[in-house]
């Protein structure tokens, strides 16, 4: 009789002393005592009991098929080759086609009814064993969760420190680039005056992307704000149990709850958001004590309502101490007045802006060219890959994984090209627009709708303002430039191409807001009260703001 031997050992068994050698020895001895000539020994190493990873077993089946004279397959235990009962009998049936029967060294299986029964039992035990292993794997991950470590890929804003792809043993750390942006978005949502669309726009303006470089879509916004991970909570996906994570939380659990209530489509917050136009500076101005965005509300006086801005954080030392809306508005308009561009500077600014635009355009063109070159290279690689596939030099799996990687890279390049092409040119009309607005920002700001006000505010002070510290407010590069050019010539700085790129990008955005808001079209030159945008007291304050002659 001819036979083959199949041995397999898992890493765990190796540790416990069941080596391939002992299995092989036992099988050889079994063959010798029964007069079986061993034609070949197949040995498999590896933890996985999954069928597709069992290359030696597949070779063995092919061997029996081609030889057709192998009557015995000797294994040490039936759990060597089957993951479950079904697998076991499938392999057995397949082998029987070539006249090969299974012999187990340690288990009494044969064609008698008792033998068949025991065989089923042993195969079932193998299945159970693998089930236990899978269970242990789940247990391992659950244990990680219990110790505060998230065993999977963390959400956007966090990174895993994982040298050499080892199992995770440390908690995730903040992604320096993305963490602050998402955290700021959480604060904006908490301020109660931002909708999901606003947040998506904010993400795009701040350049937030996935790790792959792909932009954020609106459904991602939902996923981000619904993830308890950001509140420092880990959730067991199997039973929903929650654990405290060791990673740095982005928001407190209370803030997380508040975000859910605000973004819940059934919540009453919609009405709240509609009324936000009463308070254009809400969430734009931060509390001087805790730096959280301030919210605003109406307070009932004896005869009328008073608007006031206040910090919503109960743990803040300034909680409950509001600043009157009129005061805040006046200070803000005075600040805008101080930013106004003086007439004598108009020609200088215009010249500098157009020259900067030229520079930025050149840079943008060379960037586009670079991306196009990259894309062409990737396309060539893809052709080569297809060619290799045709010549059967790589497997289907390799082909599929390489191709999807290439496709991803190509999409990143295409997106970059589209982005830089979409950046519209900044031309003389844009420069005139921006300059006209900059000559009287307070005046124009007072007459436009709420949404535009918010966008203008951010265009000038991209980081928002801190209550009581308007004097040291950080302006966007474009308005810094206006400041700089107002100073004596020897005080001017030479700016690099990055600076000009930023300025032109900001100015292009500002010009787009100006065009959308149509402030220059109806011939209104400030100070025309617009019934649905005004706050009581706005107009007189606006005049004051305008009259504060710039001494920038």
Size of the site for Zn ion (CB under 5 A): 7
173: contact with Zn ion by CB under 5 A: no
Report the SS3 class of residue 101.
Answer: strand
Nearer Cβ to Zn ion, position 8 or 286? Answer: 286
Nearer Cβ to Zn ion, position 310 or 352? Answer: 310
From CA 85, how far away is CA 119, in angstroms rounded? 9
Q: 39 with 76: CB under 8 angstroms?
A: no
Tally the C-alpha atoms within 13 A of residue 39's C-alpha that lie toward its C-beta. Answer: 15
From CA 186, how far away is CA 192, in angstroms rounded? 10
102 forms beta bridges with 73
Q: Which of residues 317-346 bind Zn ion (CB under 5 A)?
A: 318
Nearer Cβ to Zn ion, position 319 or 399? Answer: 319
Least separation in angstroms between CB 291 and Zn ion? 7
Least separation in angstroms between CB 287 and Zn ion? 3
Nearer Cβ to Zn ion, position 290 or 505? Answer: 290
Q: Which of residues 180-209 bind Zn ion (CB under 5 A)?
A: none
Residue 211: count other Cβ atoms within 10 Å of its Cβ.
10
Q: 309 with 328: CB under 8 angstroms?
A: yes
Nearer Cβ to Zn ion, position 318 or 352? Answer: 318
- Smallest Cα–Cα separation from 190: which of 294, 279, 285, 307? 294
Q: 352 with 387: CB under 8 angstroms?
A: no
From CA 227, how far away is CA 215, in angstroms rounded? 19
Nearer Cβ to Zn ion, position 323 or 541? Answer: 323
Q: Tabulate helix, strand, coil % of the chain (nearest 5).
A: 55, 10, 35
Least separation in angstroms between CB 285 and Zn ion? 11
Least separation in angstroms between CB 232 and Zn ion? 21
Q: 44 with 72: CB under 8 angstroms?
A: no
Site string for Zn ion, 299-318 (x = CB under 5 A): ------------x-x--x-x
Nearer Cβ to Zn ion, position 311 or 375? Answer: 311
Site string for Zn ion, 272-291 (x = CB under 5 A): ---------------x-xx-
Task: Look up tokens 């963490």; give the residue.
Answer: 179
Nearer Cβ to Zn ion, position 290 or 361? Answer: 290
φ, ψ dihedrals at 531, nearest 5°: -55, -35
Site string for Zn ion, 64-83 (x = CB under 5 A): --------------------
Least separation in angstroms between CB 201 and Zn ion? 26
- For 129, 151, 461, 475, 500, the CA distances from 480, given in Å and listed in that order, are 69, 46, 10, 6, 12
Site string for Zn ion, 236-275 (x = CB under 5 A): ----------------------------------------
Q: Which residues bind Zn ion (CB under 5 A)?
A: 287, 289-290, 311, 313, 316, 318
């Amino acid at each position: 009789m001819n036979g083959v031997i199949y041995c397999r050992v898992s890493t765990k068994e190796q540790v416990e002393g069941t080596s391939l050698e002992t299995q092989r020895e036992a099988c050889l001895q079994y063959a010798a005592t029964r007069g079986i000539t061993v034609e070949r020994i197949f040995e498999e190493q590896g933890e996985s009991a999954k069928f597709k990873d069992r290359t030696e077993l597949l070779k063995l089946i092919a061997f029996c098929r081609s030889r057709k004279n192998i009557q015995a397959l000797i294994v040490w235990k039936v759990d060597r080759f089957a993951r479950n009962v079904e697998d076991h009998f499938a392999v057995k049936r397949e082998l029987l086609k070539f006249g090969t029967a299974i012999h187990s060294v340690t288990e009494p299986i044969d064609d008698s009814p008792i033998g068949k029964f025991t065989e089923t039992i042993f195969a079932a035990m193998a299945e159970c064993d693998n089930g236990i292993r899978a269970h242990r794997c789940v247990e391992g991950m659950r244990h990680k969760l219990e110790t505060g470590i998230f065993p999977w890929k963390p959400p956007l804003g966090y990174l895993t420190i994982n040298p050499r792809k080892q199992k995770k043993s440390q908690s995730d750390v903040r992604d320096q680039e993305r963490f602050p942006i998402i955290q700021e978005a959480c604060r904006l949502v908490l301020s109660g005056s931002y909708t999901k669309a606003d947040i998506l726009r904010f993400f795009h303006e701040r350049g937030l992307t996935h790790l792959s470089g792909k932009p954020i879509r609106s459904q991602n916004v939902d996923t981000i704000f619904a993830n308890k991970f950001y509140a420092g909570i880990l959730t067991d996906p199997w039973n929903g149990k929650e654990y405290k994570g060791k990673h740095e939380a982005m928001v407190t659990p209370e803030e997380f709850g508040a975000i859910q209530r605000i973004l819940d489509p059934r919540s009453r917050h919609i009405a709240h958001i509609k009324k936000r136009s009463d308070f254009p500076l809400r969430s734009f101005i931060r509390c001087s004590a805790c730096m959280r965005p301030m919210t605003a509300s109406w307070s009932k006086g004896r005869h009328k309502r008073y608007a006031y801005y206040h910090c919503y954080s109960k743990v803040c030392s300034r909680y409950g101490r509001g600043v009157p809306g009129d005061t805040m508005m006046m200070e803000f308009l005075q600040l805008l007045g101080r930013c106004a561009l003086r007439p004598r500077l108009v020609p200088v600014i215009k010249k500098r802006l157009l020259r900067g635009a030229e520079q930025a355009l050149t840079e943008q063109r060379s960037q586009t060219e670079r991306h196009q070159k990259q894309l062409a290279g990737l396309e060539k690689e893809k052709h080569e890959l297809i060619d290799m596939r045709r010549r059967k030099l790589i497997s289907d799996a390799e082909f599929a994984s390489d191709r999807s990687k290439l496709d991803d890279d190509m999409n990143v390049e295409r997106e970059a090209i589209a982005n830089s092409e979409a950046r519209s040119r900044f031309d003389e009309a844009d420069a005139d627009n921006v300059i006209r607005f900059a000559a009287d920002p307070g005046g124009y700001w007072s007459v436009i709708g709420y949404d535009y006000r918010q966008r203008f505010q951010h265009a000038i002070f991209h980081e928002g303002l801190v209550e009581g510290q308007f004097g040291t407010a950080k302006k966007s590069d474009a308005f810094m430039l206006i400041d700089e050019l107002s100073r004596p010539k020897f005080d001017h700085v030479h700016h690099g191409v990055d600076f000009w790129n930023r300025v032109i990008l900001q100015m292009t955005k500002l010009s787009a807001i100006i065009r959308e808001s149509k402030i220059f079209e109806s011939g209104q030159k400030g100070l025309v009260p617009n019934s649905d945008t005004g706050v009581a007291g706005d107009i007189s304050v606006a005049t004051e703001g305008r009259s504060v002659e710039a001494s920038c």
